[in-house]
Amino acid sequence: MASRPVHPTSAASHSPIRTIGKDDLRASLHDGWEDFMSKRGDIIFAGLLYPLIGLIAATLFMGGPMLHLFFPVAAGVGLLGPVVAIGFYELARRREAGLESDWSHFLDVRKRPSAEGIGIVAALLVTIFLVWIATAAVLYTSLWGVEAPASLGAFLTRLFTTPEGWALIVLGNLAGLAFSVLVLAVSVVSLPMLVDRDIDAGRAVATSVAAFRQNKGVMLRWGAIVGVMLVLGSIPFFIGLAVVLPWLGYATWHLYTRLVDRSAA
């Protein structure tokens, strides 16, 4: 990989970061795929977890009084992706260090020195997810009222054939985009960095936000790639995420190694 400019800060509020380009995104995806193909047993975790989430969500929301929240919950699963991917960061770290890195080490992240910081950032992402669901509920109530849809068919008909339906689509997607960018900025570096280094959550998040700001265009491109892959992997019932999530988890680790000057960190 070619040398990239490193930009330390005078206040040392975050670790030195590099400026990257779109070639680094392709290389990170390539390296992540290689990691996934070498450890396909990891599919067990995501393969069991996400179809289960899909079935539970469908049971709770489809046809029930919370039907209108099914789509925000389904879309919001991506906001929790970095939390589930923590185990893949650990496997990638172990593989890079030449350590044994089979699926039995998936939960070893809890033994890392920064385990408390990992928990703090994970809790922050869960909070963002809950705020997103609350925002979606407020949007629905503001535009459609408090009455729940009578059925899935009635909900979809009103959604796509009425002005208030299109308003909900537009405003909901704009709000979802804002939450997605927030999660990307907060987590793209912080969680893999906490797995990799003995640092506090504040410094990890500050480094993540700084890396996002310094590479805004490239990071937004990365966010778009992640979003498309998560949508494709979620059809049907999240089954495809059994492949997409480990791949993105490994790829995010390699993106972190390109964004942060680890020798200085």
Distance separating alpha carbons of residues 142 and 164, to the nearest angstrom: 10
108-131 residue pLDDT tens: 888 888 999 999 999 999 999 999
Distance separating alpha carbons of residues 156 and 203, to the nearest angstrom: 44
What domain range is 193 assigned to? 42-259
pLDDT the model gives residue 3: 40
Distance separating alpha carbons of residues 36 and 11, to the nearest angstrom: 38
- Residue 15, domain member (yes or no): no
- Residue 11, domain member (yes or no): no
pLDDT the model gives residue 13: 76
Q: Do 196 and 93 form a contact (C-beta atoms < 8 A)?
A: yes
DSSP 8-class letter at 82: H
pLDDT the model gives residue 206: 94
- Residue 12, domain member (yes or no): no
- A 10 A CB-CB count for 232 gives 11
- Residue 228, domain member (yes or no): yes
- A 10 A CB-CB count for 45 gives 18
pLDDT the model gives residue 239: 73
Averages of pLDDT over each 10 residues, the chain, 265 residues: 46 78 96 84 58 63 70 81 88 86 76 91 94 93 86 87 94 94 96 93 95 96 92 74 85 95 75
- A 10 A CB-CB count for 23 gives 12
Look-up: residue for tokens 């020195």? 113
Q: Do 14 and 189 form a contact (C-beta atoms < 8 A)?
A: no
Distance separating alpha carbons of residues 128 and 187, to the nearest angstrom: 12
Give the pairing type, strands 6-7 and 17-18: antiparallel
116-171 residue pLDDT tens: 999 999 999 999 999 999 999 999 999 998 887 877 788 889 999 999 999 999 99
Q: Any bridge partners for residue 17, and if so which?
A: 7, 260
- Residue 184, domain member (yes or no): yes
- Residue 23, domain member (yes or no): no
Q: What is the separation, in whole angstroms, between the first and last Cα of the chain? A: 19
- Residue 22, domain member (yes or no): no
CA dist list (Å): 258 to 27, 56, 125, 251, 265: 10, 37, 23, 11, 13
- Residue 231, domain member (yes or no): yes
- DSSP H helical ranges for the chain: 22-38, 43-61, 70-76, 81-84, 86-96, 115-144, 152-161, 163-187, 190-196, 201-214, 216-233, 241-259
Distance separating alpha carbons of residues 148 and 145, to the nearest angstrom: 8
Distance separating alpha carbons of residues 251 and 222, to the nearest angstrom: 11
Give me the number of domains the chain comprises.
1
For the chain, what is the radius of gyration of the CA atoms? 19
pLDDT the model gives residue 1: 46
